[in-house]
Structure 1
Amino acid sequence: MQKGGKLLFLKIIKNDFYRKKIITGTVFVFITMAVLLGASATNIVANLIQSMTELQERAVPADITQMHSGKYNQGEIDKFTEEQRENIEMQETMVLLTLDGSNIHFGKNQTMAGTVQDISFVVQNKKFDFILDLDNEKLDIKEGEVAVPIYFMEQYDLKIGDTITVKSGGDEKAFVISDYARDFEMNSSLTSSKRFVINQNDYDEMLEMQAGELEYLIEFKLNENGDSQAVQTAYIEAGLPANGPTVGGSIFLLFNAMSDAAVVMVIIFISILLIIIASLCIRLTFLATIDEDLREIGVMKAIGISKKDVKNVYLNKYRVMSVAAGIIGYLLSFVLVYLFNGNMRLYLSSDLSGNLKYLLSLIAPLFVYFMIVMYSKKILKRIDKISAVEALRSDIMERGKNRKYSFRLLTNKFFSTNIYMGLRDVWKRFKLYRLLFFIFVVCTFIVILPLNMYNTMNSPEFSTYMGIGKSDIRIDLRRTDTITEDFNKLQEELKNDSDIEKYAAYITSSYQVKNAEGSWDYMNIETGDFSVFPLNYLEGRAPKVEGEISLSYANASKDGLNKKVGDEVVVKVAGTAKTLKVSGIYQDITNGGKTAKANTSLSINEEAVLWYIVSMDVAQGVDIREKMDYYQNTYESAQINDIKEYTQQTLGNIIDQMTTIVIAGIAIAILIAVLITALFLKMLLSKDMSQIAIMRSVGLTSKNVKHQYMAGTLLVLTLGIIFGVLASNYLGEFLVSMAMSTMGAAKIELVNIAWQTWLLCPLALIVVVGYTISVCCKVTEEDDLSVVFKS
């Protein structure tokens, strides 16, 4: 290439950066953000893989956990283990001393009575299923000390060195908090039990105090090629203790990863959108640049510079930008990840210093670089069609366009002239404005969808996705010597309480159910009147008459009992097989999603009752909190919550993570809206420079011109907001339902708060975009008309 050609290249690139500082800066920011979020997502995935692997290796969790309450014979379990040596490597039974939250005191006369979690005091296991400290080391608790689950540390703000006291009757036992317990099996708020770790001597002392009820975790660690299903089937057929749910190790793995996986999915989704936006910005920039540089392109071609070299002038600019943006985005991703990884560092691993994340995070900048370069090459093919003669005529980009003059000014009867001209411009050049329309749809979607998800999780209606009908108050009666007496007494009192509008009592027992393979599994079945506080059913209805049963979505699926509405389920009641007809399928994300509900005609399995629940609505005007306090004082061992509080405690850190996503979504959407609007208007004003000069020469002020552009852009914004809200409501529901189906909720209906989605968020976008238009259109005041006409 000749020296003159190289100098011309450098001059064009230099002038391009100088003339288009805002455009170049905007595209650079979008490429950087795409890399930043993409690298952050892969970084979080790498950290999640590393931390889950490390926690699993250190904790050595059980592959099968059978929860049991009641009598059991360890000798029979040992015999079974020996018979199944081809599948079972180790067996261990953890004895749980389960207490009511009201028995645990801390701080200034505070108790844990309001928790929805089952609280158990345990001694560290010897073989596997170890409970760890925050360094993922096996807990070794000294006498007089206790390790508190992370869940309670966050919920009650418990600090190391604080004292908790267990009170039972006239006895009490004080413990000093020495550690926080990281529990692979019971970390998540979605698991309904939490384990406090104490010393063996203290445990024996609490047994003498008769401080709680004994329950058991009968746990099995399988060989590398052990058959989990074969062990579970053999266990049930052997008639071994099974008064409680059976949980596979994969469920604990899913629960531990849930909240961080949700963050990753949202970040990846936004990152993909940003790559698309960056590509569209580059397209817009190229078209505007080529339009402006037609004469320079013509000169280069006229002096013999090849098409490839001409294209490299523009392509190298974006190669350099992509490399620089990739490096900056890659480095900044480690800062951003630290903000999102707080939950992971607390619940999974305090040390996320592995090397895997550095390698995986490189995928994002490399992917974005190749996407940008490939897309740029595709756009630059337009230069091949431009001949030197046509380029020097400078009208090539307008060739072949037939102007259609519709929306004549004389026909306007509703708007001011400036507003009408702005709206008319959008109609005439909608192909040009469609990029802006798409961006505004995306911005609205990024804001509204996380907001709707957050509102849904905080709504009382979310209880229906947990297999619970919506009510004002929920009372859980825990296993005590007087539980049946308390249950009957409570129902009698509610019947005579004029403050209670309606109530319903439910009993959950463990039953044997014939599975799809024809063998027997244990399943929790809740009995009661489900018409009082109805659920939303995916198919069918609640069980109303004798011989009917409804199944949760996870239970009815192929991985469960594989049943549809109208199919039959065989349940063993008091040793007798009873055939029930499936009346409906509902959604439930609790207990691994596998639950069932039956009419009261199904006899209660008295020996395997797990819990009693009473739901109620108070009469109009009655203070819910006062009524809750009354029943809490009357039934000290009961756990009393309003439904909203119950839902928030169960979802726990998932809601906290969603709060972070909402804030991040709003910030990203505003940044995108501002930068794209500025980029678009810069391009549009540059393209319309001659037209603006003509308008000003015939007497229009810069304010009139600004109003035209503002009217057109705000029209596109309004349409974008409408389509964005509709997309978040319908497409968003589909995406969320698809993600939640793995947990047992296949059809989520997002809660849409009208004043937020149709007023507050749109108003915020209109104000931000309106201000951006106002600032960007000041350029019309600075243009010298004589210079414009000379050009």
Structure 2
Amino acid sequence: MFLKIVKNDCYRKKIITVTVFVFITLAVLLGASATNIIANLIQLMSELQERAVPADITQMHSGKYDPTEIHKFTEEQRENIAMQETMVLLNFDGSNIHLGQNQTMAGTIQDISFVVQNKKFDFILDLNNEKLEVKEGEVAVPIYFMEQYDLKIGDTITVKSGGYQKEFVISDYARDYEMNSSFTSSKRFVINQADYDEMLIKQTGELEYLIEFKLNGNGDSQAVQTAYIEAGLPANGPTIGGKIFLLFNAMSDAAVAMIIILISILLIIIASLCIRLTFLATIDEDLREIGVMKAIGISKKDIKKVYLNKYRVLSVVAGIIGYLLSFVVVNLFNGNMRLYISSDLSGNLKYVLSLIAPLFVYFMIVMYCKKVLKSIDKISAVEALRSDIMERGKNRKNSFPLLKNKFFSTNIYMGLRDVWKRFKLYRLLFFIFVVCTFIVILPLNIYNTMNSPEFSTYMGIGKSDMRIDLRRTDTITEDFKKLQEELQNDSDIEKYAAYITSSYQVKNAEGSWDYINIEIGDFSVFPLNYLEGRAPKGEGEISLSFANASKDGLNKKVGDEVVVNVAGTEKTMKVVGIYQDITNGGKTAKADTSLALNEDAVLWYIVSMDVAQGVDIREKMDFYQNTYDSAQVNDIKEYTQQTLGNIIDQMITIVIGGITIAVIIVVLITALFLKMLLSKDMSQIAIMRSVGLTSKNIKHQYMAGTLMVLILGIILGVLASDYLGEFLVSMAMSSMGAARIQFVHVAWQTWLLCPLVLIVVVGFTISVCCKVTVEDDLSVALRS
């Protein structure tokens, strides 16, 4: 019997049923898709770790290296260390790597290294997650470069360095657990041992060492790192823990999943509000029937069950459909995971975890329905049979008489007056318009921010037109001086600033020594936005990145002191500022040029510059790229895009999806709301038509009121996405070293294009819905 009642009710209220059904399906679809992504990520990352066997501690080092010292240290730390291996990297500038006829990799921001496969752990894999085996004359190219330069199996790359020149055939793509992500600044090309030995003999490339440790199951990572530093072992480069590699590998897909989950939660809220709206309309229409049922002795529990069963059935059917569709939709977001983590997504974990979404939505909907249906308990049989029960208690004051209208046309004024008088009814619609705007604007703001040159300030880089990185070569110091002299005399350059980054020892909170990268230069030329304090300006001043200043780092705040080891001398420096930086694990620092340079541990030289007005930036970039073969020249936007990699690409999909979902919600909710409103106002509409108002006049009244609610909703939604959105994104990014994200706004998109789309969609929906109702037979309406 209950199923028959549900069937008849659904047939009688098709629009309402379809609307609620679509919202529940979308909520389950997105929730299950996000859970699916997370389940795949957990399972595939575990499998990738198992196959790649990554290092727990990686110490990068440039300079002199004695393997016997590392071997001795490893033996002393056997209680913590299970295995040790040192990978020797041959580093090349991008200009040394030739593709096809005229193209090189000169524009890349990545350090390019040629290596051979490790023997014990930290294996570089192919796309089947098998250990790479490369034949002589062949090379396995990192996935990052495969995407960036559209490299295919069978293509050739040529390495040219000094008198060395050799052509390699691309035999495979390299899936590198430690260096997959665009956030890591190095990429490893895998070649055969014979080719590698030939490069070594001919002294091509710059040597760099990856000193790697694999710990025992109960090994103490911090104890090993502290002992390593105290032993004075090679450490001219950053130290990276295994958790950083895990974070970088999972970051892109996890960020997408979090945004989808947020949208899914908003959809559940909208579905609940939609059901509330439906119940209010249904109970209003069925009030006499409820009174009859109560009068003949049907219990409150059974009456509520009549209404509740419909939504139970809807939730189950929508949940099943949403769950099944999620496995199709998730393929839109799994491309990055298939490429960088595993081509095989056939794991079973996703089928189990994805069930969380439909079950969660079902229980949320049922619980909410029960809460709303409590209103039936308050209605007695006698009251329910009175036609004015739902109207009782309404405030009749502030009626806004038509005679007082001096600013609007009559129809617009009547529409606005209706909103004011029945604001409790319209506030539901208002809230949903706010949420829809939020769903559209938040992903758009995130995309615009990441795609903007201003995002460089979250990478510890001041905004500038161009950036020149000088790689480590025998002539790097001379090139650096020559470049500054040339910039000084170049009338096309408006201003420039030179920076040198070196590795220094710094005393941590426990009193032992850590290594951090300190950048030296004039930071007033291209200033950063500081979370606290300011840039270092004089002797003895230092600014720390947010990650370095946090409790997990040096645990410092502005005004505290930091002890830095400079050429064997301990120097106490005052912290004058804290800034944001998501590069190099987020742990960097900046000091004035008065800090002595650590000559033996220079990591890189950078020059930032602004060109004069009217100068073509691309031409100037090409000039300096051709003048300095070992230099890497980029504009800041390109540098940011290369670093953020796939996150920007995936955000485009989310932006398009958010707009699509918002439009669907707006259409369905507006149609549902108007159906309820017009049903309540049927007798009032009939009276207006009988006194001479046309269908067009009545339509304009409803359109004026609804569009005013929409415009107010858009304004609040945009403001919410700006302030609340910034707060949420800042929370998510704080673990990476950026604790205060400020969105970059594209005004014509935020305040013109998106609102215009929503206004057109809502206006069209109102026009169609009103046309169906207000043009009905007048005599039927008056009789009812």
Normalised to the residue count of structure 2, the TM-score between the two structures is 0.99
Which residue is equivalent to 2:438? 445
Cα distance, 1:687 vs structure 2: 1.1
Secondary structure at 1:561's aligned position in 2?
A: coil
Which residue among 250, 255, 280 is the counterpart of 1:257?
250
Q: Distance in 2 between matches of 1:710 and 1:725?
A: 22
1:225-304 matches, cutoff 5 A:
225-304=218-297
Which residue is equivalent to 1:404?
Answer: 397
Deviations 1:113-159 (A, max 9, x none): 00000000000000000011111111111111111111000000001
Matches of 2:282 and 2:387 in 1, distance apart? 13
Aligned with residue 360 of structure 1, among 353, 368, 382:
353
Structure 2 counterpart of 1:306, from 291, 299, 306: 299
Query: Displacement, 1:662?
Result: 1.0
* In structure 2, C-alpha distance between the alignment counterparts of 1:679 and 1:483, rounded to whole Å: 69
- 8 Å Cα contact 1:168-1:209 kept in structure 2: no
Match runs of 1:382-531 below 5 Å: 382-531=375-524
Equivalent residue for 1:55, pick from 39, 48, 68: 48
Residue 690 of structure 1: CA displacement?
1.0
Please give the alpha-carbon distance, in whole angstroms, between the structure 2 residues aligned to 1:358 and 1:117: 38
Secondary structure of the residue aligned to 2:165 is strand
Q: Which residue of 2 aligns with 1:674?
A: 667
Partner amino acid for 1:473? M
More deviation, 83-92/398-407 = 398-407
One-letter amino acid of the structure 2 residue matched with residue 122 of structure 1: V
Query: Which of residues 608, 619, 626 is equivalent to 1:626?
Result: 619
Cα-to-partner distance string for 1:540-568 (whole Å, 9 max, x where unaligned): 11111111111101001110011111111
Partner of 1:639: 632
Query: For residues 60 and 242 of structure 1, what CA distance do their matches in structure 2 show?
Result: 23
Partner of 1:751: 744
The residue number in structure 2 matching 1:146 is 139
1:287/1:623 Cα in 2 relative to 1: closer, same or farther (>3 Å)? same
- C-alpha distance in structure 1 between counterparts of 2:520 and 2:377, whole Å: 75
Q: Measure, in 2, the Cα distance between the counterparts of 1:514 and 1:374.
A: 56
- In structure 2, the CA distance between the partners of 1:640 and 1:777, relative to structure 1 (3 Å rule), is same
The structural deviation recorded for 1:298 is: 2.2
Alpha-carbon offset, residue 670 of structure 1? 1.0
Distance 2:7 2:383 in 1: 25
Equivalent residue number for residue 163 of structure 1: 156
8 A contact 2:685–2:774 mirrored in 1: no
Query: Which residue of 176, 185, 198 maps to 2:191?
Result: 198
Pairing 1:564-579 to 2, within 5 Å after superposition: 564-579=557-572
Look up the match of 2:536. Answer: 543
The correspondence for 1:98, drawn from 91, 96, 112, is 91
Structure 1 residue 107, shift from structure 2 partner: 2.2
Residue 580 of structure 2 is matched in structure 1 by: 587
Alpha-carbon distance, 1:374 to partner: 1.1
SS of the equivalent of 2:531 reads strand
Provide, for residues 418-448 of structure 1, a one-character-per-residue CA deviation record: whole Å limited to 9, x for no partner: 1100000000001000011101111111111
Equivalent residue number for residue 222 of structure 1: 215
Q: CA contact under 8 A between 1:168 and 1:210: conserved in structure 2? A: no
23, 46, 57: which one aligns with 2:16 = 23
Match of 1:558 in 2: 551
- The unaligned stretches of length 5 or more in structure 1 are 1-5
How far apart are 1:16 and its partner, in Å?
2.5
1:478-525, Cα deviation, whole Å (9 max, x unpaired): 011111111111111111111111111111111111111101111111
Q: Confirm whether residue 788 of structure 1 aligns to residue 778 of structure 2.
A: no
Q: SS in structure 2 opposite 1:778?
A: helix
Q: Secondary structure at the match of 1:242?
A: coil
1:286 is paired with a residue whose SS is helix
CA distance in 2 between partners of 1:302 and 1:443 (Å): 43
Worse overlay, 669-678 or 387-396:
387-396
Deviation at 1:570, TM superposition (A): 0.7
The structural deviation recorded for 1:396 is 1.9
Query: Is 2:106 the counterpart of 1:113?
Result: yes
Match of 1:733 among 711, 726, 733: 726
Listed one character per residue, the Cα deviations across residues 315-339 of structure 1 (whole Å, up to 9, x for unaligned) are 1111110100000000001111111
SS at match of 1:600: coil
* CA deviation after TM superposition for structure 1 residue 91, in Å: 0.2
Q: Distance in 1 between matches of 2:617 and 2:277?
A: 58
The alignment-based identity, stated in percent, is: 88
- In structure 2, the residue matched to 1:3 is none
Change (3 A) 1:544 1:564: same
Structure 1 residue 771, shift from structure 2 partner: 0.7
C-alpha distance in 2 between matches for 1:371 and 1:504: 57
2:657 aligns with: 664
Shift of 1:790: 2.2
Secondary structure of 2:385's counterpart equals helix
User: Measured at CA, do residues 15 and 403 of structure 1 come closer, stay the same or move farther in structure 2, by a change above 3 Å?
Assistant: farther
Higher mean C-alpha displacement, 164-173 vs 265-274: 164-173
RMSD, aligned CA: 1.1
Asked whether the equivalents of residues 699 and 774 of structure 2 are also in contact (C-alpha less than 8 Å), the reply is no
Do the aligned residues in 1 keep the contact of 2:460 with 2:579 (CA within 8 Å)? Answer: yes
One-letter amino acid of the counterpart of residue 109, structure 2: V
Contact 1:555 1:593 (C-alpha < 8 Å) held by counterparts? yes
Which residue is 1:38 aligned to? 31
* AA in 2 matched with 1:775: V
Q: Find 1:83's aligned residue among 76, 79, 92.
A: 76
1:400 Cα deviation from its structure 2 partner: 2.5
- How far did residue 10 of structure 1 move? 6.9
* Deviation (angstroms), 1:293: 1.1
Is the partner of 2:558 in helix, strand or coil? Answer: coil
Letter in 2 for 1:62: A
User: What is the CA deviation profile of residues 161-184 of structure 1, one whole-angstrom value per residue up to 9, with x for unaligned ones?
Assistant: 110110112331111111111111
Deviations 1:183-215 (A, max 9, x none): 111010000000001110011112233221010
CA distance in 2, matches of 1:91, 1:449: 46
TM-score using structure 1 length:
0.98
Corresponding pairs, count: 784
- For residues 606-642 of structure 1, the C-alpha deviation after alignment (integer angstroms, 9 at most, x for no partner) is 1111111111111111111111111111101100001
Q: Give the match for residue 342 of structure 2.
A: 349
8 Å CA contact 2:27–2:361 kept in 1: the answer is yes
1:658 deviation in Å?
1.3
Q: Can you list the C-alpha shifts for 1:744-790, whole angstroms capped at 9, x where unaligned?
A: 01111101111111111111110111111111111224422222222
In 1, the alpha carbon distance for the partners of 2:21 and 2:773 equals: 25
Equivalents in 2 of 1:171, 1:143: separation in Å?
16
Rounded to whole Å, the distance in 2 between the matches of 1:566 and 1:390 is 71
Whichever residue aligns with residue 766 of structure 1, its letter is I
Does the 8 A contact of 1:166 with 1:172 survive in 2?
yes
**Residues in 1 aligned to 2:113 and 2:501: alpha-carbon distance in whole angstroms:** 20
Match of 1:68 among 61, 65, 70: 61
Aligned residue in 1 for 2:176: 183
